[in-house]
Amino acid sequence: MVARGEGTRENIIRQAATLFNQHGFTGSSMSDVMAATGLQKGGIYRHFESKEQLAVEAFAYAVNLVGRRFAEALEGKTNAIDRLNAIVGVFAGLSTDPPVPGGCPVMNAGIENDDGNPALRERAREAMDGLRGLVARVAERGKARGEVRPDVDGDALASVMVSMLEGAVMMSRLYGDDVHVARASAHLRRHLEECVRAVG
C-alpha cells in the first residue's frame, strides 16, 4: 500500500511532466501545476522546494518512460540490425503516441534549454547521451559479433539515427502528419540494410 504522501508526490510529478513536455519549463507555471493537480501551492511546495526541482524530477520521470519503451522494444532481440530497427520503431511512436503527451521529452528539453536553464540542459544532455549510447553500443556489439560491417562507426550512426528521428518527430508533430516520421524511418531502415556485414 502506498502512503498518501507518496501517491500525491507521484501524481504531481506525472501531471507536471505533461505540462513541462507540452509547454516547456518557462511556459508552465506553478499555478498550472496547481490547476492540474487540484492542490494548493503549499501542498506542492511540501514535496518540491522549487519549480526547478519539480521540473528536474518530472523530466527524469518522462525520460524513464521513454527508456521503458526502448527496453520493451529490444526485449528478445539479439541481432544488432533487428535491435537498431526496433529503436527506429520506438521513435515513430514518440510522435503519435508519446508516453508523456507533447512528444519526445529529450528533444523538447534540449531545444528549450540550449539557451535556457543550466540544470535542465545538463539533464537533457544526460538523457541524449543515453539515447546515443544505446545506438552506439548496439552497433559496436554488432560489429564484434560480425553482424554489422566493420567500417560502421557506432557514434556516427548514433548521431545520424537520433538526429534524423528527433527531427522527424518534430516535423510530424508540427504538421500533425505521420508522413515525416514514416519517411525518416524508411530511409534509416534502408541505411541499416547497408550496415549489415556482407556475408563473404
Nearer to a second copy, 57 or 166 (CB): 166
Give how far Cα 20 sits from Cα of 5, 66, 83, 91, 162, Å: 22, 15, 30, 20, 22
* Alpha carbon distance 195, 150 (integer Å): 9
Q: Contact with a second copy (CB under 8 A): which of 51, 69, 123, 173? A: 173
Region from 8-16, 39-47, 61-69, 157-165 binding a second copy, contact rule CB under 8 A: 157-165
Q: What are the contacts of 156-163 at 24+ separation with CB within 8 A?
A: 157/84, 157/195, 158/131, 158/132, 158/133, 158/134, 159/132, 160/188, 160/191, 161/84, 161/87, 161/88, 161/135, 161/188, 162/128, 162/131, 162/132, 162/135
User: Which CB sits closer to a second copy, 47 or 154?
Assistant: 154
Give the one residue of 167, 189, 196, 197 binding a second copy; rule: CB under 8 A: 167
Per rule CB under 8 A, is residue 27 in the interface with a second copy? yes
Under the binding rule (CB under 8 A), the answer on residue 15 touching a second copy is no
Binding mask 86-125 for a second copy (x = CB under 8 A): ---------------xxx---xx-xxxxxxx----x--xx
CB of residue 191 to a second copy, shortest distance in Å: 8
Which residues are paired to 148 by β-bridges?
A: 196
Residue with cell 544532455: 125
Per-residue binding string, a second copy, 41-60, x by CB under 8 A, is: --------------------
- Binding residues for a second copy restricted to 126-155, rule: CB under 8 A: 128
* Helical segments of 46-153, H only: 51-74, 80-96, 105-113, 118-144
Binding site for a second copy (CB under 8 A): 22-24, 26-27, 101-103, 107-108, 110-116, 121, 124-125, 128, 156, 159-160, 162-168, 170-171, 173-175, 179-180, 183-184, 186-187, 191
